[in-house]
Amino acid sequence: MRVSKYLLSTQKETPANAEVISHQLMLRAGLIRRNASGLYSWLPTGLKVLRKVEAIVRDEMEKAGSCEILMPIVQPADLWQESGRWEEYGPELLRINDRNNRDFVLGPTHEEVITDIVRKEVNSYKQLPLNLYQIQTKFRDEIRPRFGIMRSREFLMKDAYSFHLDQETMDATYQDMYSAYCNILTRIGLNYRPVLADSGSIGGSMSHEFHVLAQSGEDVIAYSTEGDYAANIERAEAPKPTQSRADATQEMTLIDTPNAKTIAELVAQFDIAITNTVKTLIVKGATEEKPFVALIIRGDHELNEIKAEKLELVQSPLTFASDEEIRAVIGAGPGSLGPVGLDMPVIVDNSVKVMSDFSAGANTDNKHYFGINWGRDLPEARAVDIRNVVEGEAAPEGQGTYAMARGIEVGHIFQLGTKYSEAMNANVLDVNGKAKTLLMGCYGVGVSRIVAAAIEQNHDDRGIIWPKAIAPFKVGILPMNMHKSHRVKELAEELYKTFTDTGIEVMFDDRKERPGVMFADMELVGVPHTIVIGDRNIDAGVLEYKNRQSGEKQDIPMNEVVDFIKSVAL
């Protein structure tokens, strides 16, 4: 393209309100513009990258045997009522009315629509397994849209859905999609990691997320130092304690602790080990008979809310009791809680179960018990895994220890089981003519989010450094004083034509701008290879080449430039 006929729209200044580097650079390099909260337009350069990501995703879906379809963005509410999500789904589901006051939603996902299509179109086991995908705009009315297109309200997603009569083909397709997702991220050139994931509100059993590793990632990934195990921290299994509980050696004592409102203060003031204390968290119960439940974790651990809300006794989504509720039920503030004498179900983390002679709040303001022992001072409690794993502890399957990384979730695959097909009555006749409920898988890629994730992983202080496969342009032509030098203009135009004819995407900066501005724009936009043309170069018979990634410059004989660029750019 010629910059003079293009909407380049670069900005020097770092925009206000753009917290993460990808958002800043996407605005500065003229990739996107904000139209309203969480709503963005893709300018030409950004869209070129988006379309390249889309093409790679499409290609890998086709290779994996998925067939492309396109479902509407506006979906009839009755399907959501049938699946039950009309009620379940929170305000992220934008409910709208048409001119006849009928209910619709702006599709945040398409499980209902695809299940409706498949139950109508597929009747026989002969048509299965079936794998369908689309690349379509989605809308989620995020409560706090942020990070540009990383968490926008409107975004481009690839969503695939597979249908099966048996677990064998379900597993096979799941594995195919897992591989396709690895291929997509490898081809794009990103450092990523597939991790075990929680399947969340979408339902189902087996689930993996695909994370692009980046410091700014919203998710924490726990992976094993030796071996393949990796999981979202939401889902990472904490190791069961290997030691058994030590015998009690202390009497339980009630201690005045007027200045210890937190574990940290308690530990500091009384010189005890934090690993010998527990935190007591009061959450809402799942039933009216048991309105509150106490969750007990070791003082140095963090509650894992995802694990906790899966407990049968606990309300989902997890809801903490307010200070007022705690005082009304227990008679003490949140700084003085503990498991001793508590009149509600008590669930402890596995690591708490093996503690002895430990300290906890006494359920009386400004008092703690020291020397607490299970069985003696309070009943044995049910022990489960309800905490986040921590760096350095044993990873599952004997694969060394846990290490942590941050990731940006760009893909998520699920085995949904019969959640939707059962609710929506999606049956197919099997080989014996018997109606069977379909098994279903679903597989999402955040196409637009990948663009931001790629930038988070690949940039420097001058701008974006695109992975080769998704660079908006392969080569930049930077003519110096073209509007004065006929020779420069002629050579620049010639190279532009040659590259264009060869199918090499060029950014030809034909503006009347200072070289410094043109250089800065090339680097900000992240053009991988730049050729500088000036009178001095022509005199010397060599053109100056600059590599965006390495920053290295090199003189290339004029008659070798085209072959050189072909060799590095194609």
Instruction: Specify the amino acid at residue 387.
Output: R
74 touching a copy of itself, by CB under 8 A: yes
State yes or no: cis peptide before 129, omega within 30 of 0: yes
Is residue 64 near a copy of itself by the rule CB under 8 A?
A: no
Q: Which of residues 122-181 bind a copy of itself (CB under 8 A)?
A: 122, 126-127, 130-132, 137, 139, 141, 143, 153-154
The DSSP call for residue 247 is: P
Binding flag, residue 327, a copy of itself (CB under 8 A): no
The least CB distance from residue 423 to a copy of itself, in Å, is 18
Least Cβ distance, residue 431 to a copy of itself (angstroms): 12
Let me know: does 312 contact 286? Beta carbons within 8 Å. Answer: yes
Residue numbers 9-28 binding a copy of itself by CB under 8 A: 9
By C-alpha distance, which of 116, 127, 114, 204 is closest to 165? 127
- 98 contributes a contact to a copy of itself by CB under 8 A: yes
Binding segment for a copy of itself among 121-129, 194-202, 356-364, 473-481 (CB under 8 A)? 121-129
Q: And the tokens for 213? A: 């590793």
In the DSSP assignment, the letter for residue 173 is: H
Considering the complex, state which of residue 96 and residue 246 has its C-beta at the smaller distance from a copy of itself. 96
The β-bridge relationship of strands 94-97 and 463-464 is unpaired
**Whole-angstrom Cα distance, residue 306 to residue 289?**
23
215 burial type by CB count under 10 A (0-12 exposed, 13-18 middle, 19+ buried)? exposed
Both tokens assigned to 53:
């990501």
CB-nearer residue toward a copy of itself: 56 or 303:
56
Pairwise CA distance, residues 366 & 364, whole Å? 6
Size of the site for a copy of itself (CB under 8 A): 58
Chain positions 44 to 63 lying near a copy of itself, rule: CB under 8 A, are: 44, 47-48, 50-51
Residues 138 and 71: their CA atoms lie apart, in Å, by: 11
Query: Of 100 and 567, which has the nearer Cβ to a copy of itself?
Result: 100
- Quote the least distance from Cβ 152 to a copy of itself, whole Å: 9
Choose between 135 and 293: whose C-beta lies nearer to a copy of itself: 135
What is the distance between the terminal CA atoms of the chain, rounded to a whole angstrom?
A: 18
Q: Does 206 interact with a copy of itself (rule: CB under 8 A)? A: no
Pick the binder of a copy of itself from 15, 59, 69, 542 (CB under 8 A).
Answer: 69
Give the one residue of 63, 81, 96, 425 binding a copy of itself; rule: CB under 8 A.
96
Single residue of 14, 17, 41, 269 touching a copy of itself by CB under 8 A: 41
**Interface positions, 477-536, toward a copy of itself (CB under 8 A):** 511-512
Binder among 14, 17, 19, 68 for a copy of itself (CB under 8 A): 68
User: CA 283, CA 304: separation in Å to the nearest integer?
Assistant: 13
Alpha carbon distance 405, 218 (integer Å): 10
CB 386 within 8 A of CB 346: no
Among 249, 269, 254, 271, CA closest to 370: 254
Sort strands 382-384 and 367-372 into parallel, antiparallel or unpaired.
unpaired
- Binding footprint of a copy of itself on the chain (CB under 8 A): 1, 4-7, 9, 33, 35-36, 39-44, 47-48, 50-51, 65, 67-76, 91-92, 94, 96-99, 104, 106, 113, 116-117, 120-122, 126-127, 130-132, 137, 139, 141, 143, 153-154, 511-512
